[in-house]
Structure 1
Amino acid sequence: MNSRLQGKYVVITGASSGLGAEIARQAAACGAHLVLVARRVDRLEHLKAELERKNVEVSIHAIDVSKREEVEWGFAAILSSCPRIDVLVNNAGFGVFDEAGDAKWEETEAMFQVNVLGLISCTQMVLPVMKQQRSGHIINVASQAGKMATPKSSVYAATKHAVLGFTNSLRMEAANDGIYVTSVNPGPIATEFFDTADKTGTYAKSVGGWMLKPEEVAKAVIQAIGTNKREINLPKLMNAASFLYSLFPRTVERLGRRAFNKKS
């Protein structure tokens, strides 16, 4: 539980399933007012009904974050109905595992549109409000792939590297306005993500021991809200590997080649 969330207005993108939905559940348990954003309105409605049974204030907005015009009018509606925005969780994202030469161009464009441009677009919508409030917390869900790239995820890793670059710059820019900025860098999470990223199921099976539960990642996110936490890195062992990679990239790439190539 996080008492700092009581009565706060929390916007969550990609809230219709997986990590986003779990963050919504846990934020609701802390007494937050929820604004849920996703493309799949039927799933949003189902989650809204679930949370409202617990006497939680929930509004839902069908927005495709990859489309700037939808973000603009969607967030205009959000801002007109909410007295303030205390937290933005940029969770919307997806990946497709392919080698660089095999990556379909439409999937490459889509990953950048959602994972990078969508995240930036949503952030730009709430920043003026948070600056005016002189408070707020922006949480960007990146990935360990943004710290340590591996084969067969070249495009996905590129999007998450971009998210971390944006997040790190934004953190410094927003500090003078009382706005916290946190990146979330999880390893593989047991969600529907792999239905798209790993259609054969081979990778998910091979890294089963590393798989995080969405509940535990959501718990770490909830606990960080309202604190000036720079990063959330899970699991610890994978983050240690990312740290070693930053120090000794050539050695880690050579020693880890077999494990890295498990996306096949």
Structure 2
Amino acid sequence: MISQYKELKDLRNRIVLISGGSSGLGKEMAYEVARKGAIVVICARQMDKLLEVKETCQRLSGRLAYAMECDVSDPVQIEQMVETVESSIGSIDVLINNAGFGLMENALTFDMNIAEKMIRVNLLGLIYMTQNVALNMANRKCGVIVNIASVAGKIATPKSAIYSATKFGVLGYSNALRLELKPLGIKVMTVNPGPIDTNFFKIADKKGEYLKNIGSMLMNPSHVAQIVVKNISTSRREINLPYYMEIAHLGYTIFPKMGDLLAGTVFNKK
């Protein structure tokens, strides 16, 4: 099994599928795997942006790259897209589930239509995508699945109830999935980033207050992408960024009452 993971240390000519690959962290991860010589397949809803990323990936890798229009909230589109990739491009070696969005609003007044959409994109879409890809990986006894979750899936704060629920779900699903797929030679890794300097906040933080309060804490998406891609070939099961969040989560687990106090006051920047 370890030798199967080692086969992916060299990403040259490996097919890497990234959802939400048209912007932000998804785009930067696409560029990073392209630099490693991978055959990049990116999917999202906005084809114009996807095509721009695709062209850059081809320049970086010197190989063909592919842009696939897909709404991950639609299981039919996911199934059709994965089937097209597997039959027309080749076997998917690495899946990076990155698509998702958030919205900072009070739980009691949250628009439930948006809540259902968020759950369908952030959690159910990831599950559908994973199942479709992992079935093929299981037949080959090899593959890597990277699920982009969030620090909000480890430590919840006010005005993030729905978003945190989706990311807690991603972590629970990933932890069980890891155990199920390990005997099949498939690695599952979760990534829990804190705030990243991307367009995510144009939707999530409409008032702009959160960004003003945490401006100095924003992580560079390119740097995060480098860390994620570097660990695709390792045995690492989880990445928490910035790294001090691992200590914060440990403290929250050991001292939950103090954790609630800090999460509702000191760490509440919304």
Match of 1:74 in 2: 81
Match of 1:98 in 2: 105
How many matched pairs?
262
* CA distance in structure 1 between the aligned counterparts of 2:220 and 2:131, rounded to whole angstroms: 30
* CA distance in structure 2 between the aligned counterparts of 1:35 and 1:133, rounded to whole angstroms: 19
* CA distance in structure 1 between the aligned counterparts of 2:32 and 2:262, rounded to whole angstroms: 39
* CA distance in structure 2 between the aligned counterparts of 1:119 and 1:94, rounded to whole angstroms: 12
Match of 1:219 in 2: 226
* CA distance in structure 1 between the aligned counterparts of 2:205 and 2:226, rounded to whole angstroms: 26
C-alpha displacement of 1:183: 0.2
Counterpart pick for 2:194 among 172, 181, 187: 187
Within-5 A mapping of 1:108-127: 108-127=115-134
Counterpart pick for 1:28 among 22, 29, 34: 34
Match of 2:4 in 1: none
Letter aligned with residue 242 of structure 2: P
Letter aligned with residue 119 of structure 1: L
Judged with a 3 Å threshold, the aligned counterparts in structure 2 of structure 1 residues 256 and 93 are, in CA distance, closer, same or farther, namely closer
Match of 2:267 in 1: 260
Which range moves more in the overlay, 165-174 or 79-88? 79-88
SS in 2 for 1:139: strand
Letter aligned with residue 150 of structure 1: T
* CA distance in structure 2 between the aligned counterparts of 1:183 and 1:255, rounded to whole angstroms: 25
Judged with a 3 Å threshold, the aligned counterparts in structure 2 of structure 1 residues 61 and 176 are, in CA distance, closer, same or farther, namely same
* CA distance in structure 2 between the aligned counterparts of 1:255 and 1:183, rounded to whole angstroms: 25
C-alpha displacement of 1:3: 5.4
Counterpart pick for 2:21 among 15, 19, 23: 15
Structure 1: tracts of 5 or more residues without a match: none
User: Any idea what the Cα deviations from partners look like across 1:131-182, whole Å, max 9, x if unmatched?
Assistant: 1111100000000000011111000000000000000000000000110000
Match of 1:5 in 2: 11
- For the pair 1:250 / 2:254, whether they are aligned, the reply is no
* CA distance in structure 2 between the aligned counterparts of 1:16 and 1:256, rounded to whole angstroms: 32
Match of 2:5 in 1: none
- For the pair 1:45 / 2:51, whether they are aligned, the reply is yes
* CA distance in structure 2 between the aligned counterparts of 1:201 and 1:249, rounded to whole angstroms: 30
Q: 8 Å contact 2:142–2:186 — kept in the other structure? A: yes
C-alpha displacement of 1:75: 1.3
Structure 1 residue ranges (4+ consecutive) displaced by more than 4 angstroms after TM superposition: none
* CA distance in structure 2 between the aligned counterparts of 1:3 and 1:139, rounded to whole angstroms: 15
User: What TM-score does the superposition give when structure 1 sets the normalisation length?
Assistant: 0.96
* CA distance in structure 1 between the aligned counterparts of 2:106 and 2:265, rounded to whole angstroms: 15
Q: 8 Å contact 2:156–2:263 — kept in the other structure? A: no
Task: Give RMSD over aligned pairs.
Answer: 1.2
Counterpart pick for 2:248 among 214, 217, 241: 241
C-alpha displacement of 1:76: 1.3
Q: 8 Å contact 1:151–1:260 — kept in the other structure? A: no
Match of 1:154 in 2: 161
SS in 1 for 2:266: helix
C-alpha displacement of 1:202: 0.6
SS in 2 for 1:140: strand
User: Any idea what the Cα deviations from partners look like across 1:238-261, whole Å, max 9, x if unmatched?
Assistant: 332122111111112224432233
User: Any idea what the Cα deviations from partners look like across 1:168-211, whole Å, max 9, x if unmatched?
Assistant: 00000000011000000000101000000001111011112221
